[in-house]
Amino acid sequence: MSTVALGLARGGIEVKQFFRSREQAVFTFAFPLLILTLLGSIFNRAYEGTGVTAAQVFTASMVGAGIISTSFVNLTISVAADRENGTLMRLRGTPLSAVSYFMGKIVLVAVASLGQAILVLGIGALLYDVHLPTSLDKWLTFGWVFVLAVVSCSMLGIATSAIARSGQGAAAVANVPYVGLQFISGVYVGPITTLPVGMVTVASFFPIKWVCQGFRSVFLPDAMAKWEMAGTWELGRTAAVLGAWSVAGLVLCLLTFRWTSNRT
């Protein structure tokens, strides 16, 4: 079997294991819904001259934040756990290559993230009057932002798992940067123009800002672009940054991935 075929087969196994673990599946889908409901209930400002509410902005951003959680956070933890409990050692004795293993994880993230996005948008439409786009170009933008977000953040999650000495420690390794970057990327604080320029500059080096900005361009009217730091959606730069992180993440994975635990 080819690397791609093995990766897809591994992806099918990962998806089955994910949904068989009911607690993991429920909390993975529930987390962004809970955060969205809380933020949407607490903040009710309307953006002048746009007819857009804070809850609608949070809905668009939480589509991206959900992907980051499912990819970066969950993979940092799950890959470290696979290494610690011997799963990776057993897989090493099969024809499965490291790249095929990465592909399997990306398939899992794509399936779970798509389900999350549907639920988040459903809550947004039901509670906060979020309107789905009707133009093809908006959905094409959704497609490439989604793919680049899944690939880049999955690669970073797998690479970051090498830092953790155990599956238990991986949770702290992943959640600290994830939570911090959400605040300085404007996910939990809106609009992003209210944040200090230095914070946003730091956030601009990482995917989460661009992922959420890309989804805001899809689900919010173009009049909302003026509330971004550059005053535009910067879709070209979004594609460039996420594409660069996808490549850099793959390189980091190939350089740091280990089949065995580094615990002593």
User: Could you report how far apart the first and last alpha carbons of the chain are, in Å?
Assistant: 36
Calculate the alpha carbon distances from 198 to 84, 163, 251 in Å: 38, 27, 28
- Rounded to whole angstroms, the Cα distance separating 222 from 146 reads 19
Whether residue 116 contacts residue 32, with contact meaning beta carbons closer than 8 Å, is answered with: yes
pLDDT digits (tens, 9 = 90+) for 175-184: 899 999 999 9
Share of the chain above pLDDT 70, in %: 99
Pairing mode, if any, of strands 52-53 and 46-47? antiparallel
Q: Tell whether pTM > 0.75.
A: yes
pLDDT digits (tens, 9 = 90+) for 182-226: 999 989 877 888 889 999 999 999 999 999 999 999 999 999 999
Closest among 107, 141, 152 to 220, alpha carbons compared: 141
